Each structure stands twice: as structure tokens, then as C-alpha cells.
Chain A
Amino acid sequence: MSAEGRGGPLTRDTRRGWVAGVLAGIGDRIGVDPLVLRVGFVIAAIATGGLLLLAYLIAWAALPAEDGGSAFVARLGRMPRGRGDWRVAVGAGLLTLSALLAFRQLGIWWSDALAWPLALAAFGVALLWVRSPRRAPPAAERPATPISAPPGRQVPPRRAGSRLAEEYSGAFGVLLVVGAALLFLSSNHVLGGIRDAALTAVVVIVALGLILAPFLWRLGRNLAAERAERIRSEERAQMAAHLHDSVLQTLTLMQKRADDPREVASLARRQERELRDWLAGDGAGDAGERTLASELRAVAEGVEDDHRVAIESVVVGDCKLDDRAEAVLGAAREALLNAAKHSGDSGPIRVYAEIDDAGIALFVRDRGAGFDPEAVAEDRRGVRESIVGRLERAGGHAEVRSNPGGGTEVAIEIARDGAAAKGRS
């Protein structure tokens, strides 16, 4: 015998196991030589008419392997939901049915009155279990988050077909379980006794339903109308409160500062941003994972507020804020600050960012006075270090294109997969 068992969860010892390592894992866990368990298992399997073999199969499916391999059941549970799901479910059901039929042919069988209802109930419960909602996935990378998103943009609803299929699969599971119960009662001759009582109850319920149908119909319609009116009323109240708290307050502020056009423009842009976010349902409470698009938006808003300039931004795609995205964000912040400081009243600063699996490309343009990059003194390290140097250290590339009177463009490119950024025009 082994000296002692080890702690931790029960696993299959596939290295020392003869078949699937279930008995070796149990022996290791409780500190008993697996050989003793194997002898006992064979005797018990013969004594129970092979029933213990079924228990072994279940244990093999449910227990993870010691070398890190997860249990078969767990692997099925982690499979992404998609078109392959129903095939696995149907296939597993047919294989189980085949195993049951084989046991029946071999004579390893209790009785049809017990086994088939149990099998039906198991399938029904499995369907209901699969259909039950799982934990919501973490906030995924958004496909596109325009900083100045057009109002009214909504997340597309799920397809009606998938919802219908889920509903039907759940209903089918319930039917299977109910059918299993009825089959069990019928096989044991219990159903005949309660059939009359059930029929009487059904007839009484149908009669009552027919009598009360007009009243119930009107009641249902009234309740639905009342609920719809309540929802509309709540939405109106919510919109009125929001307009009062934001738009009216901003308009009051703008009247008070009408002598400062930049301040008025800044207030108007801030209010526009807030209204767009609110209309797009992207307002408060969106405190999920930090992404490049959301951080770019925050940077642009901060520069707008601090320097009273207009920034028009478009971001296509999004990604997590890793080291490369941080470098792009830092360079973009520096480029925006430079543009805000030096472009004057030459119109809005434009930011365009394109983020995909291959890389990130970001452009900051202004129509300011511009400058000659070659004439910048060596000791001026703002552009050289904070933009170009920062990108090069992160494996990317940044270029400042400017000439006196022609505005300035900062082009930033970096690959996301570790490859060197390819030059784009």
C-alpha cells in the first residue's frame, strides 16, 4: 500500500492507470494501492451484473486527468455555442442510447419500466441544463467605437431564429422529463388510477377557461396597455430629467459666458458629446475594461476641455490597452497637445484611428501655422522623444509632416502581432 494519500481534488492518474486511470487516481487520493482497488472493482462489477462498469465510465467522463487534461464533460461544457452544439448533443444521446441497448441485449438490465424513463429524464435534464443561462462573458473587444458616434446607433438584436430555437429546446427538455414521469407511472400501472381524476380536472379547467375567457382576455389587454403606458411615462420623465440636468444647465452657462466664443464652443461640444453618448446608450456605468478607443476618447475630451479647441475624432475598431496601445495613446496625447497649443483658431483638430488585428494606425491633423521639422533645435525633445522615440521603442513608427503655413500631420503606426510596422502612405 502507499504510504499515504495526497490532498487536492480527485483526478485520473493516466500515467499509472490501466484503462483510464480512474482507480489509480482514487487509490492515490485515498492512499490505497490501485491493484487492491482493481481486484475489488472486478469482484464488485461481477456481483452487480456490470453496473459498476457504467459507474467507471461516468467517472472517466467526469474526472479531469492528473496531467492537466480536463474532464470530457468539462470540455463539452466549455465548447463555444454554435452550430456544432446540437450535433454533439444528438451524438451523445445516440451513443448513450446505443450503450443502453447493448446492456439490454447483454442482459445487464433492470427493467424497461425503470431504465427508459430514467434515460428520457436524463436527456430532458441535459437539454434544460444546456439551455440555462451561463455567466455573462467578460467585456469583449468592441468592433468599432467611434468617438463621435452618430446618435441612435444601437447594438443589433439577436436573431429571432436563435431565440426560437433556444425556447423550443427548453420546451423539448421539459416535455422529455414530463414524458419520462408519465412513462414511469404508466409502466408501473399507476397511471390508470389517476387518469380519470386528471381527465375530470382537465374538463373542469377547460370549462372554466371558456366561461372566463372574455374576462381574462380583457384583463390581459388592459394590463398590457397599462404597462406600456407606464413605460412610456417613465421614459418621458427620465428624458425630461436628463434634459433639465444637462442641456438646460449648459444653455444657462452659455448665456452667462456669451462674451467668450471659445468657452461657448467648448461648452457646446461637451454637451454634444454627452448627448450623443446618452442617445447611444453609452453613458455612465460603462466602466468596463480599458480599451484604446475609450482612452483616446478620454484624451481628446481632456485636451478639448483644457485648451478650448475642437477635436473631431473617428476611431474604427478597438483593442485592449496593452503596451503597444499605451505607446500609441501616449504619442496621440502629445500630438493632440501640440496641435491644441500651436494650431490657434485654424479649425478643428482631426483624429483618425484605425485598429484591427494587424496593427494600429493613427493620424492627428491640424490646419495651424505648421513648422519646419528640420529647423527644430536638437534640445527640443517634445516631438522627437514623446512621439517618434516612444513609438520606436515600442516597435512602431511615427512621422511628423509639417511645413510652414500648411498645417501639421502626425502619422503613427504600430503592428499588433509583434511584427515591425509597415509603412503606409
Chain B
Amino acid sequence: MRRGVKFDPVSLASGVVIAALGVLLLIDSAGGFHVSVGWMGVVLTAAVGAIFVLSGLHRGNGGKGP
């Protein structure tokens, strides 16, 4: 019997964060605006940090995590 797909909020939020990063890099490559190395560091650390916090809080609250 086929089991239903379980909703995983951490994976979803992580995907959204990474997709947003991809869009940012795409616009940068297309010349829409220029993202400096300094700001790229800010965005990358914030994205990775947010994913870690989401994952940790989800596990801490009893979730099984991704």
C-alpha cells in the first residue's frame, strides 16, 4: 500500500531560502544589479544560519527533521 507524502516544514523552508538565493544570483548574473562580495557573505551566512536554526528548532520541538 502506498504511504502518503509527509509534509516537512524544514525541507520546505530550506528550499525556499535556497531558491531565493538562486534568484538573487540569477539577477546578479543578468546584470539587474550587482551584489558585492561583502553582501554575498551576509546573504549566504544568513541563509545557512536560518536553515540551521529551523532544523534545530524543529528537532528540539519533537520533529524528526529532514
Q: Which of A23-31, A87-95, A289-297, A387-395 is the interface stretch? A: A87-95
* B56 in contact with A98 (CB, 8 Å): no
* B56 in contact with A84 (CB, 8 Å): yes
Q: Which of A75-83, A321-329, A409-417 is the interface stretch? A: A75-83
* B42 in contact with A102 (CB, 8 Å): yes
* B60 in contact with A91 (CB, 8 Å): no
Instruction: Please provide the chain B residues from 41 to 66 with a CB less than 8 Å away from any CB of chain A in the complex.
Output: 41-43, 45-46, 48-61, 65
The answer to whether A79 and B60 touch (CB under 8 A), given A84-B65, A102-B42, A104-B38, is yes
The 5 closest A-B pairs by CB, nearest first: A94-B49, A91-B52, A84-B59, A87-B56, A91-B53
* A95 in contact with B49 (CB, 8 Å): yes
* A94 in contact with B52 (CB, 8 Å): yes
* B41 in contact with A87 (CB, 8 Å): no
**Distance between A283 CB and nearest chain B CB, rounded to angstroms:** 37
* B55 in contact with A87 (CB, 8 Å): yes
Q: Tell me, yes or no, whether B39 is within 8 Å of chain A by CB.
A: yes
The answer to whether A94 and B60 touch (CB under 8 A), given A87-B55, A104-B38, is no
In the bound assembly, the distance between CA atoms of A236 and B30 in angstroms comes to 81
* B49 in contact with A91 (CB, 8 Å): yes
- Could you pull out 23 A-B pairs where Cβ atoms are within 8 angstroms? A82-B59, A83-B59, A84-B55, A84-B56, A87-B55, A87-B59, A88-B53, A88-B56, A90-B56, A91-B48, A91-B49, A91-B52, A91-B55, A92-B49, A92-B53, A95-B49, A95-B50, A97-B45, A97-B49, A98-B45, A99-B46, A101-B38, A102-B42
Q: How many residues of B contact A (CB 8 A)?
A: 23
* B38 in contact with A105 (CB, 8 Å): yes
Closest to A87 in B: B56
In the bound assembly, the distance between CA atoms of A91 and B50 in angstroms comes to 6
- With beta carbons under 8 angstroms apart, the residue of B36, B45, B55 that contacts A94 is B45
* A91 in contact with B42 (CB, 8 Å): no
Instruction: Please provide the chain A residues from 91 to 136 with a CB less than 8 Å away from any CB of chain B in the complex.
Output: 91-99, 101-102, 104-105
In the bound assembly, the distance between CA atoms of A260 and B55 in angstroms comes to 69
Which residues of the other chain, B, contact A92 by a CB distance below 8 angstroms?
49, 53
Which residues of the other chain, B, contact A79 by a CB distance below 8 angstroms?
57, 60-61
* B46 in contact with A94 (CB, 8 Å): yes
* A84 in contact with B42 (CB, 8 Å): no
Instruction: Tell me which of B41, B51, B53 has the highest count of chain A C-beta atoms within 10 A of its own C-beta.
Output: B53
Q: Tell me, yes or no, whether A278 is within 8 Å of chain B by CB.
A: no
